[in-house]
């Protein structure tokens, strides 16, 4: 478990600043949803937290550790994308536990987590299939399982549901809420979907052109006149 502080974060690509000055405190266990128009810097912000992009200036602190020079694989962060890439030749089971095998997690613990996660995401019947034999929604559930099974300190989601149809989106939204209630991991979630923001967020942060335009509870952001 861990808090996240973004301290005066700036990101420039050449001469263009895409994140201009972001100062944000995310509490341990908090679910923060980042919203705002396309191109306002949401993904870039998420990728800087993950360590996939370096900030041009400012500090990113997770827990009590300054992360600026820490490689992504040492940040203990799980990330779920819109375009999840599963390993095509591995079964669903092996896709889900792959990271744990690499981390040399004890076999008994690995099985315990696999059972827990596959029940939660209703993947029990699918464990022996290959990704090609799954629907889009099923694949997204596998991608979610693979991310959360790692027991990371922080979960990052970049529009994880935007490729799904409305019904599946609703279902997965509920699942993500349940996962958060169960594990209580600090989460940062990027979406365009107001319902996702309303139902999942403890705090909504509205970005505009690389700045935080507004931040508050979903009620404050969406329901204030």
Least Å distance, CB 196 to ligand ADP, is 15
In three-state secondary structure terms, 42 is helix
Could you tell me the two tokens for 220? 């404050």
> Whole-angstrom Cα distance, residue 20 to residue 122?
42
Q: Are strands 57-62 and 4-13 parallel, antiparallel or unpaired?
A: antiparallel
User: 130, 95 in Cβ contact below 8 A?
Assistant: no
Least Å distance, CB 29 to ligand ADP, is 21
Least Å distance, CB 135 to ligand ADP, is 23
> Whole-angstrom Cα distance, residue 84 to residue 155?
15
Indicate whether 18 belongs to the interface with ligand ADP (CB under 6 A). yes
Stretch of 33-41, 58-66, 108-116, 130-138 lying at the interface with ligand ADP (CB under 6 A): 33-41
Indicate whether 95 belongs to the interface with ligand ADP (CB under 6 A). no
Query: Which residues pair with residue 25 across a beta bridge?
Result: 5
Query: Which residues pair with residue 205 across a beta bridge?
Result: 34, 215
Which of residues 10, 29, 52, 215 is near ligand ADP by CB under 6 A? 52
The site for ligand ADP, by CB under 6 A, has a size of 13
Indicate whether 43 belongs to the interface with ligand ADP (CB under 6 A). yes
Q: What length does the chain have?
A: 225
Stretch of 39-47, 63-71, 116-124, 198-206 lying at the interface with ligand ADP (CB under 6 A): 39-47
Could you tell me the two tokens for 38? 């396309």
Indicate whether 67 belongs to the interface with ligand ADP (CB under 6 A). no
Indicate whether 50 belongs to the interface with ligand ADP (CB under 6 A). yes
Give the binding site for ligand ADP (CB under 6 A). Answer: 13, 18, 36, 38-44, 50, 52, 79
């Amino acid at each position: 478990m861990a808090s996240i502080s973004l301290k005066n974060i700036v990101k420039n690509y050449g001469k263009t600043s895409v994140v201009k000055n972001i100062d944000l405190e995310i509490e341990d266990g908090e679910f923060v949803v980042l919203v705002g128009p396309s191109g306002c810097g949401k993904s870039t912000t998420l990728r800087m937290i993950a360590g996939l992009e370096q900030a041009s200036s400012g500090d990113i602190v997770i827990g009590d550790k300054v992360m600026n020079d820490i490689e992504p694989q040492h940040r203990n962060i799980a990330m779920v994308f819109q375009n999840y890439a599963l390993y095509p030749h591995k079964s669903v089971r092996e896709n889900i536990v792959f990271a744990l095998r690499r981390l040399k997690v004890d076999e008994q613990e690995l099985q315990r987590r696999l059972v827990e996660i596959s029940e939660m995401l209703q993947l029990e019947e699918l464990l022996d299939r290959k990704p090609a034999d799954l629907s889009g929604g099923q694949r997204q559930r596998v991608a979610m399982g693979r991310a959360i099974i790692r027991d990371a300190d922080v979960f990052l989601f970049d529009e994880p549901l935007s490729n799904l149809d409305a019904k599946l989106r609703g279902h997965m939204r509920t699942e993500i809420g349940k996962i958060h209630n169960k594990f209580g991991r600090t989460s940062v979630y990027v979406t365009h979907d107001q319902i996702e923001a309303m139902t999942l967020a403890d705090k909504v942060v509205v970005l505009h052109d690389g700045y935080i335009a507004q931040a508050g509870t979903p009620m404050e952001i969406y329901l204030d006149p």
